Amino acid sequence: MTDYRFSVAPMMDWTDAHCRAFHRCLTKSALLYSEMVTADAVIHGDPDRLLREDPACHPTALQLGGSDPAKLARATIIGASWGYEEINLNCGCPSSRVQSGSFGACLMAEPDLVADCVAAMRAAEPDLPITVKCRIAIDDMPARETLFTFIDKVSAAGCNHFTVHARKAWLKGLSPKENRDIPPLDYALVAELKAERPNLSITLNGGITTIDECRTHLKVFDGVMLGRAAYQNPSLLGEVDAAFGWEGAPVVSAHDAIIAYMPYMADQLERGTGLHAMTRHMLGLFNSQPGARAWRRVLSERAPKPGAGLDVLDAAVEAITGHAVNIAEV
């Protein structure tokens, strides 16, 4: 059974494989989601580039974008073959690029189509959890009626777990960034959904920024999902395993996470990956701590340079702590 108590949201251009490898150094138990990959890309693209996952990163879920049941079924089979523990369907992204492809948040207006997609995905991989991430509604559609109708139709097709971003998505007039902040949060409506559909597993997403808030929401919901807060302040993830009682786990320090990430980075550098592709996910690791600016400056200025190696990370650590990491021992 998947443990949904804490998860990190799928975020385009952020939660790539390198990000997930770094986050896994901070939390062993949180469920990590890939950035959205379209069904067409999975079917026709380079699977090694799009889907390869470091074995240490699991448990991980692959988020798909699409609205064609047959294509989503094929993409689900491919995703399963690469070892993902869950396939998630994106019904919440409000970007114009996603809308033009007839998927993402605009699917909130087409619950019957989403139900067909879920049914096809489940038929393709009956032993794999097929889940959905959605909003409470879009544009001027009534929130409660839209959400409950959507959930009821899609759950009837075999989806038992939903992650609900507790805001409307305004597809007309707001940018994706504005859609993450301007529409008001409605936790109460999502709580009503959980209370009235207790057989379903519901994860709450949207506006959650602290471990204490997570604890409060877990009294109502089956899980919490953090997005920007987890990415922009990743040291928060170092508290997750201890906070939620996973195997008596300790708090993972930023320094310990860096040490744990280095073997992955060294391997990727040997494969030709640029250092910046990995360190860009680490910039917020020391946010609100003395020396955080120096840490960011070293990584931002030196990591993108051709040939940059782990000595750059060593210098960044020394800039903030006054002590270098002994790379030779990593």
- Contact 202/222 with Cβ under 8 angstroms? yes
| Helical (H) or strand (E) element with 216 | helix 211-217
What is the amino acid identity at position 27? T
Tokens for 128, please give them: 């794999």
Distance between CA 231 and CA 270 in Å, rounded? Answer: 26
Contact 221, 202 (CB under 8 A): yes
* Residues 164, 91 contacting (CB under 8 angstroms): no
Q: Where are the beta strands (DSSP E) in the chain?
A: 6-8, 31-33, 37-38, 60-65, 86-91, 130-138, 161-169, 201-205, 223-226
Q: Which of 25, 57, 93, 117 is catalytic?
A: 93
Give catalytic status of residue 93 as yes or no. yes
d(CA 20, CA 15): 6
Catalytic residues: 93
